[in-house]
Structure 1
Amino acid sequence: MKIKDIKVAKVEAPLITPFKTALRTVHSIHNIAVYIYTDDGQVGIGEAAPTAVITGETFGSITHAIEHYIKPAIMGLDIADIVHLMERLDTSIYQNTSAKAAVDMAIYDLCAQHYQTPLYKLLGGYRKELTTDITISVNETEEMVKDSLAAVARGFQILKVKVGKDPLGDVKRVVAIRQAVGQHITLRVDANQGWTPKQAVQIIGALEDAGTNIELVEQPVHYSNLAGMQYVTANTLTNILADESVFSARDALTIIEKRAADIINIKLMKTGGIHQAQKICHIAEANDMPCMIGCMLETKISVSAAAHFAASQKNITMIDLDGPSLCLKDPITGGPIFDNARITMTDAVGIGFSI
């Protein structure tokens, strides 16, 4: 099974409501689908999400990277030769992690097809079901409370509350949501790098004192400020989750060595795909640090690949794969079953799409 051709196409999906964080506001997903064709007629699929404020990539840069750098580097290679393939993929161009992730997913899709097994079983097969949180976009307090109650009504028991645009009002937002949804709902808070270290300690301390009982705070300060992450982690009781601070296995090791977080968020768009994500997960597991699996604004294509990876790994203890739940409609059929908070793997081979 050798790579015969690689093609890219647009994949779009409108969102139910605008997605708002401290970094951006998005109304509709506009991503890139990647199709890898083999000499024996099989097709693998992946997806890249242009997230310029995080990975530095745009629709044009991803397409260019795949067509002019990645494709020439891996054409004609055998799908079963994963180590060689991933080495060529990784060295084809510097960074461009989302472009690499889309190709990586399609390769793993084909590899699992080759062995006639669902991808999650090929990768480890730890479990078949996952429970995801759902994102509550940053807005005025009343609207966030309304969105939180609507999410709970849909069956979500874990809410990831976006903050960071208005530090003075963030405590008020989270307190109001906790009062509205009750203590039985798990709350996660994501500042998207929106606070200074001192603000973070003050805000998290206020949330602790207010009895909000939040499970974690994600990326409270700028991704490059590891000293700030250390300061926040050392001076709060709440678990700190490193997101934008971790793109690579080396980043993960640095976070662990500096004790700059309690949990690591793995996203395929940051790591460059499943192959590199495995390295991060294993390093974290060896150091007794749990991981979350997350996603950018992605459709069912790439979120399904992330779900397969998450289902295969014991050390991924938290799931943030709400992309399909945020979309008004799915752009593609097949793959794992996304039923609001519950994600169920099927017995379909590969990632599970019929193309």
Structure 2
Amino acid sequence: MKIEHVEAIALDMQLQEVFKGGTYQVATRPTIITRVHLENGLVGETYGGDEFHTQAQIVQVIRDHLGPLLQGQDVRDFQRLWEAMFNIDLDLGNRGLHQLDMHPRGILLQAISCLDNAMWDARGKLYDVPVYKLLGGVRDRVPVISIGGYYPKDGSDPAVAIAKEVESVRQVGCIGIKMKVGRATLEEDFERVRAARKAGGKDFVITVDANQGWHPLDAVKFCVAMEKADLGVRWMEEPVKWYDQTDGLMLLATKTSIPINVGQGEITGRACRDLITKGGVSILNLDVTLCGGITEWQRVADMARFMNVEMAHHEEPQVAIHLMAANPHALFVEIFANRQRDPLLWELPEGFPDIRDGYMAVPQAPGLGIRLRPEVIERYRVDV
């Protein structure tokens, strides 16, 4: 079944407040809608990514370079099409491994991700099955945690604020929280984690995310303190500075039994290989909207399974739910329980997410199983 043409539509919306993590802050919610039109009238459609500095360049690569490359090709040939996009001859400069920022090759990989994910939606519709079934189908629901624990901006007690947030996360139906650390002192962040554990109880899942905020020795101090206090942290995410991977990660891995989770900023499976073999990581939270899409993400997941590494996913539940449901060594799907942090999740997809009793149901309609509301697309559409 041949691809007729593709579309890329940029969206952006202003958030009602600024959210501060360990090393960054967020004030807007951009994304890209990607559509792949087939000759029989079927349309693969999805959204993903939250890059605003490089959004226009990503759309341009889709429209001017990758789209024409895919036109007339058989959408079923996913391996061949992925390699063709990855090996396209573009002047994109240099990009080193283990960098979080979107450099030129990162722009290419996010453009590939947009199209690859949309093509998987098209394939599911073509075969009349959900994507997670195409990938193997392990379960039809996935435990869900909330990204949160941002630092309060109103001067309120951070420990009190996180305790209140834990309760609100429970009310949404999540079994746990991924909370931010790395912006305050080690002592202050430790007290916040302890407050979260006290509020959540022993069965509540707590993970901590430093957003690459610490030097390795500080990461060691923090993890050792959490272990001594028996805080039951499920993983330590992105603990060390970007420039100290992978040696810094390996140092931390030798000093703590808390699983180390990294990879959300990586754009290739080869970089993930290095994080496992040279960084000693236990979990990869590779992002399907950055790494080259479902095709490359699943390759990495297969590699990780044979190396006894678990898979997580950075945000993007509209696609991640299928990946988490298709892999036996996958953990949780992540959402923002606070609707002000990611309003698009609650406005753009129709009837999604479906969260009950701590689990998110996998959409059972063909493809990714999610219809995007056209009126929401038009409301936040921007010209790039």
Shift of 1:118: 1.1
Distance 1:285 1:165 in 2: 33
Distance 1:10 1:252 in 2: 29
Residue number among 306, 309, 313 corresponding to 1:289 in the alignment: 309
Q: Does 1:82 align with 2:91?
A: no
- With over 3 angstroms needed to count, the CA separation of the structure-2 counterparts of 1:16 and 1:215, relative to structure 1, is farther
Q: Does 1:209 align with 2:243?
A: no
Paired residue type of 2:293? G
Distance 1:177 1:315 in 2: 26
Q: Which moved more, 1:333-342 or 1:83-92?
A: 333-342
Whether the 8 Å CA contact 1:136–1:148 is kept in 2: the answer is no
Q: Does 1:67 align with 2:86?
A: no
Give the TM-score normalised by structure 1.
0.89
1:44-103 alpha-carbon deviations (Å, 9 max, x no partner): 112232337xxxx62112111211221122111111121221112222354322222111
Q: Does 1:257 align with 2:277?
A: yes
Distance 2:9 2:26 in 1: 20
Alignment partner, residue 239 of structure 1? 259
SS at 2:190 equivalent:
helix
Q: Does 1:314 align with 2:333?
A: no
1:139-158, aligned counterparts within 5 Å?
A: 139-140=151-152, 141=158, 142-158=160-176
Paired residue type of 1:126? V
- With over 3 angstroms needed to count, the CA separation of the structure-2 counterparts of 1:114 and 1:78, relative to structure 1, is same
Shift of 1:262: 1.5
**Matched positions, count:** 344
Alignment partner, residue 375 of structure 2? none
Alignment partner, residue 194 of structure 1? 213
Q: Which moved more, 1:190-199 or 1:138-147?
A: 138-147
Q: Does 1:178 align with 2:190?
A: no
Unaligned stretches of 5+ in structure 2?
91-104, 153-157, 373-384
- With over 3 angstroms needed to count, the CA separation of the structure-2 counterparts of 1:321 and 1:243, relative to structure 1, is same
Alignment partner, residue 219 of structure 1? 238
Paired residue type of 1:77? Q
Distance 2:337 2:350 in 1: 11
Whether the 8 Å CA contact 2:363–2:370 is kept in 1: the answer is no
Q: Does 1:160 align with 2:178?
A: yes
What is the root-mean-square deviation of aligned Cα atoms in Å?
2.3
Distance 1:165 1:315 in 2: 31
Alignment partner, residue 137 of structure 1? 149
1:195-236 alpha-carbon deviations (Å, 9 max, x no partner): 110000011111122221211100100234211111111111
Distance 2:161 2:215 in 1: 26
Alignment partner, residue 119 of structure 1? 131
Distance 1:120 1:152 in 2: 27
Distance 2:131 2:282 in 1: 29
Q: Does 1:9 align with 2:14?
A: no
Whether the 8 Å CA contact 1:335–1:348 is kept in 2: the answer is no
Identity %: 25
Distance 1:155 1:15 in 2: 23
Distance 1:340 1:191 in 2: 28
Unaligned stretches of 5+ in structure 1?
none
Shift of 1:247: 3.3
Give the TM-score normalised by structure 2.
0.83
Alignment partner, residue 105 of structure 1? 117
Distance 1:244 1:73 in 2: 28
